[in-house]
Amino acid sequence: MLQLIERDGDLAVAALVDDVDFFTSSDLRTAGHRLLDEGCRYLVLDTSSLSFIDSSGITVLLAFWQRLHAADGALVLAVPDTALRRRMDVLGLDTVLTITPALGEAVDRARRLRATDGFPSRASALPAEPESA
């Protein structure tokens, strides 16, 4: 259900390797909460192998977000499938969750969030974000 790809202290990168529905969402919830119990505060989830997620799966993702948000952490989703991203946008999840189109971008975003969390002096060492016109 949840396959760990990389672990770096309080940052974990994992892949959703099976569809998430009513019957499998409890396994996802258990695996994700285990990661959070082990000190994960920044969780990146790769959805590239995911072909289906129902409302129970979305509920699990939101539970992860709530718990990480309460711990001053973050949940970042890598959602390369445009149809899935569009469904998440329609549901308004893009206003709550951090969603990127690629895993590398999601990991970079999580690392930037972690680097600036509670370390203002380290934030200045990060390259400036490009300004939009």
Q: Can you give the CATH number for the domain in which 72 is found?
A: 3.30.750.24
pTM for this prediction: 0.86
pLDDT of residue 18: 87
Assess if residue 122 is contained within a domain: no
Assess if residue 51 is contained within a domain: yes
Assess if residue 43 is contained within a domain: yes
Domain count, the chain: 1
Q: For residue range 63-84, what is the model confidence (pLDDT) as tens digits?
A: 999 999 999 999 999 999 999 9
Question: Length of the chain in residues, anyone?
Answer: 133
pLDDT of residue 117: 75
Q: For residue range 86-119, what is the model confidence (pLDDT) as tens digits?
A: 999 999 999 999 999 999 999 999 999 999 974 4
Assess if residue 45 is contained within a domain: yes
Assess if residue 109 is contained within a domain: yes
Asked if residue 25 lies in contact with residue 55, where contact means CB atoms within 8 angstroms, the answer is no
pLDDT of residue 118: 44
Assess if residue 21 is contained within a domain: yes
Range of the domain at 36: 2-117
Asked if residue 17 lies in contact with residue 1, where contact means CB atoms within 8 angstroms, the answer is yes
Assess if residue 129 is contained within a domain: no
